[in-house]
């Protein structure tokens, strides 16, 4: 029994170290089904959906999102990782602002590739271990599980915040059939700070931890498929044409974050040089530029809509 516990602890440590070796900034482990706080997070999700704060993001209603075990038969643990997407080349622009998370390589592919290596590695240690990769397209309460695994806490702007890397992290998960040693869950360190709430120009953070998508610039520039924006969003774009980082930029935990020197995090050259000429790009040029980025979710016609709306109010 003692040897089994020791093996479990050593395997857990080696797994987290492997994640760091593969290029993740942080890693942690949570046991399934998790602690009591996950039940509260599920209840918070239900209230958010009941208020229709998810707007047209109907995939958020998936019942499976509340049950991680539905994603992998026999799931016992989940490795949670955070990829730091902040590089020294991320610079604020007066016009044509793009959310930092989308400026470099498509994080879905970056994270999946790294997690596949980790999955293959664990099978050299435990051949019968089953695993499944999840990178935000799966019905999973990502931030709640990251919090459970000790990666950070869910801040008042609804982003996961890590002590060292702030909220400049995209998350990945490797659900495992192996019973591993869990890390301690994180506790909130936001305190009385409400800068994210105060600085949101559209008042999208209706109360701490709650985002109304219909008021959110990021939602409208990425997910809104209508031809126009609501007036309260359009007049507050202030340069944002794809996403919005305001509630992260003002967060004190994001002021001194280590930079990722890997080219995966570097902004694409066209992103850095984007200007009004983009309005004349044809479909072919847009698709070529968007290839290999998460920004391809924003269709070419939407880019033009976003740019026109932004210019109209500058």
Residue 163 is classified by DSSP as T
Choosing from 136, 179, 212, 249, the catalytic residue is 136
Catalytic (active site) residue 212: no
Task: Identify the CA nearest to 130 among candidates 140, 139, 138, 120.
Answer: 120
Buried b (16+ CB within 10 A) or exposed e, 200-212: bbbebbeeebbbb
Distances in Å between the Cα of 193 and the Cα atoms of 15, 16, 41, 108, 162 are 35, 31, 21, 31, 16
User: Rounded distance, CA 155 to CA 136, Å?
Assistant: 18
26 and 169 in contact (C-beta within 8 Å)?
A: yes
Token pair 């033009």 is at which residue? Answer: 304
75 and 174 in contact (C-beta within 8 Å)?
A: no
Task: Write out the catalytic residue numbers.
Answer: 136
């Amino acid at each position: 029994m003692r040897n089994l516990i020791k093996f479990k602890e050593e395997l857990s440590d080696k797994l987290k170290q492997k994640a760091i070796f593969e290029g993740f900034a942080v890693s942690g482990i949570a046991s399934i089904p998790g602690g009591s706080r996950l039940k509260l997070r599920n209840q918070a999700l239900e209230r958010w959906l009941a208020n229709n704060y998810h707007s047209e993001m109907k995939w958020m209603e998936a019942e499976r999102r509340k049950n991680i075990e539905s994603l992998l038969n026999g799931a016992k643990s989940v490795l949670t990782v955070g990829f730091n997407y902040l590089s020294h080349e991320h610079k604020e622009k007066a016009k044509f602002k793009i959310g930092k998370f989308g400026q470099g390589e498509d994080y879905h592919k970056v994270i999946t590739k790294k997690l596949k290596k980790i999955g293959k590695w664990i099978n050299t240690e435990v051949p019968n271990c089953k695993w499944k990769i999840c990178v935000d397209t799966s019905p999973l309460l990502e931030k709640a599980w990251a919090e459970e695994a000790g990666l950070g806490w869910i801040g008042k702007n609804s982003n996961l915040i890590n002590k060292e890397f702030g909220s400049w992290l995209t998350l990945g998960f490797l659900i495992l059939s192996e019973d591993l040693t869990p890390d301690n869950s994180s506790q909130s360190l936001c305190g009385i700070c409400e800068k994210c709430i105060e600085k949101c120009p559209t008042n999208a953070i209706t109360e701490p931890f709650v985002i109304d998508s219909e008021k959110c610039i990021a939602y409208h520039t990425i997910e809104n498929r209508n031809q126009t924006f609501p007036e309260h969003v359009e007049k507050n774009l202030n340069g944002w044409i794809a996403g919005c980082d305001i509630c992260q930029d003002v967060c004190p935990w994001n002021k001194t974050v280590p930079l990722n020197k890997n080219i995966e995090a570097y902004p694409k050259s066209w992103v850095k040089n984007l200007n009004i000429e983009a309005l004349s790009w044809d479909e072919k040029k847009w698709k070529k530029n968007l290839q290999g980025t998460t920004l391809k979710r924003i269709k070419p016609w939407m880019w033009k809509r976003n740019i026109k709306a932004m210019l109209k109010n500058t």
